[in-house]
A and B are shown apart, each in its own frame.
Chain A
């Protein structure tokens, strides 16, 4: 080993095993923290946002008789949540994957499929509405197709944390069918908040494992 080069590089002469163990632990945690696309605190924040947004809608519609769905005052809340959630999800994923190349990055085809899943969900709801089954009665069904699609895409990649996130969204969508239309908003808010919090716990465990 060229001791002169290491000294010139400023690494010092003594480096105990205890120091090495501490540095290894810290460097591993730091690297995982910076490379994970969904930091735990971001997932928790998104969970709080979805709970607030869906909870606000539930509070607004729970007294409706007959049920007519979100009011004009609810729509901006939902749009704001959708935009903010997407910005957080995409923004932090981009930041984490900056400079990373390889199989872990989503391929254009996968991004297209995931996007089309949302289009398919919307198209299905429009078709059901045309058949006399208003999507207002089943607001969480929009989550099922995108959730299942994401779970399948992640399963093909053997990304089990990704499978969890997709499957949990689909499950929440399905559970909403068991509630009345107003209650479905509460199911969505609580369910998605719980799913995101679970994802945060998984990511926190991974970073420290």
Chain B
């Protein structure tokens, strides 16, 4: 199986870290932007760029809530995103065989 069988949207180190991190959340849970930024170790601007790409592909969903006067953005992997990550993982496994 050639490398280009890997989803190009996920097959980028930063976005792979993002989807893997969000996949660790229990079903139905969301993670705040600041917590995700802290866990991934990215600058806010860098993280926003990648989140936008993932959201455009419907891999993640984001919602804004308010805590008093503070606006909080929460993100989560969509069902489509989880399926995409599963497909990506299986494609990796097929490429690498027993090494995964």
Q: Give chain A's interface residues, CB within 8 Å of chain B.
A: 1-2, 5-6, 8-12, 15-21, 23-24, 27-28, 30-32, 34-35, 98-105
Contacts and interface: CB of A to CB of B under 8 A. Distances in A.
Most B CB within 10 A of own CB, among A6, A9, A102: A9
A1 B76 CA distance: 22
A104 B99 CA distance: 33
A19 to B, nearest CB: 8
B12 A6 contact: yes
Contacts of B74: 101
Interface of B: 3, 6, 8-9, 11-14, 16-17, 20-21, 23-32, 34-36, 38-39, 46, 49-50, 53, 65, 74, 76, 89, 92, 95-96, 99-100
B28 A11 contact: no
Contacts of B25: 35, 100, 102, 104
Given A34-B39, A102-B30, A24 B24 contact: no
A34 B22 CA distance: 12
Nearest to B5: A17
Contacts of B53: 2, 5
A23 B39 CA distance: 14
Contacts of B99: 18, 21
The secondary-structure label for the interface of chain B is helix
A100 B29 contact: yes
B100 A21 contact: yes
Contact of A9 (B9, B11, B14, B36): B14
15 contacts: A6-B12, A9-B50, A21-B96, A21-B99, A28-B24, A31-B23, A31-B24, A34-B39, A99-B31, A100-B29, A101-B74, A102-B76, A103-B28, A103-B29, A104-B28
Most A CB within 10 A of own CB, among B3, B21, B38: B21
A27 B32 contact: no
A9 B46 contact: yes
Contact of B96 (A15, A18, A103): A18
B23 to A, nearest CB: 7
A160 to B, nearest CB: 13
Given A21-B92, A23-B13, A102-B28, 11 more contacts: A1-B9, A6-B12, A11-B14, A15-B11, A17-B6, A20-B6, A23-B16, A28-B23, A35-B24, A100-B30, A103-B26
B24 A99 contact: no
Contacts of B21: 27, 30-31
A28 B23 CA distance: 8
Contacts of B39: 30-31, 34
A44 B10 CA distance: 37
